[in-house]
A and B are shown apart, each in its own frame.
Chain A
Amino acid sequence: QSALTQPPSVSGSPGQSVTISCTGTSSDVGAYNRVSWYQQPPGTAPKLMIYEVRHRPSGVPDRFSGSKSGDTASLTISGLQAEDEADYYCSSYTNSGTYVFGTGTKVTVL
């Protein structure tokens, strides 16, 4: 199972919006609405930010939103803040009953 493809890095100024893409195949991202997103600041465990493409767990700011079209999912951070600087990973359930993560994207707040 190959990793989902994410851009290595994205950046934006405070208050701007950034979008991270996550491209898979018809066997994973395109097959199910079981795409999730994780935030991982350096040296810490990942934190769930979005599940089932667009749902936010309790406590996650509504600045974070998710979407999907075909084999590509996206995470958008609106009103970028300094505390959003971290690595972000997508994940998807696959038709083999397994799971796959994305390659990861480093978000930099300029």
Chain B
Amino acid sequence: QVQLVESGGGVVQPGGSLRLSCAASGFIFGCCGMHWVRQAPGKGLEWVTFIRNDGSNEYYADSVKGRFTISRDNSKNMLYLQMNSLRVEDTAVYYCAKSLFDAFDIWGPGTVVTVSS
């Protein structure tokens, strides 16, 4: 079945870095654009970044631009999020999601990132 599974979350100090991964299965990964979406504790959903199916273009929310980088490896069915210069306000559950007609049609269970000293 179609599935996304995130990993790489954890606890990191402010200013630190973390790399999240998202393993895709059950569909042709290279067909589709992919997103990262986050949700701070008790808060709503926030779109973070998007990458086109072939990796040719990336888009970022202003809140993470210049600090986060999205990438993908279609040969390994993997999506990544490199997060640098992390801030306390980046604490959230991070979801990867598959794009369908500019909607988010498949979601992973999420991975928790906590930025704290």
**Interface residue A91 (Cβ < 8 Å from any Cβ of B):** yes
A1 touches B44 (CB 8 A): no
Residues of chain B with a CB closer than 8 A to A93's CB: 102
- Which of B45, B101, B106, B108 neighbours the largest number of chain A CB atoms within 10 Å of its CB? B45
Complex Cα gap A99–B59 (Å): 9
Pick from B46, B59, B102, B107: contact of A101, CB under 8 Å: B46
- Which of A34, A40, A57, A99 neighbours the largest number of chain B CB atoms within 10 Å of its CB? A99
**Interface residue A48 (Cβ < 8 Å from any Cβ of B):** yes
B45 touches A101 (CB 8 A): yes
Pick from B35, B46, B100, B109: contact of A45, CB under 8 Å: B109
A89-110 near B? 1/0 per residue, CB < 8 Å: 1010100111111111000000
What's the least CB distance linking A68 to chain B, in Å? Answer: 14
Residues of chain B with a CB closer than 8 A to A98's CB: 47, 50, 59-61
- A-to-B contact residues, CB < 8 Å: 1, 3, 32, 34, 36, 38, 40, 45-48, 51-52, 55, 57, 89, 91, 93, 96-104
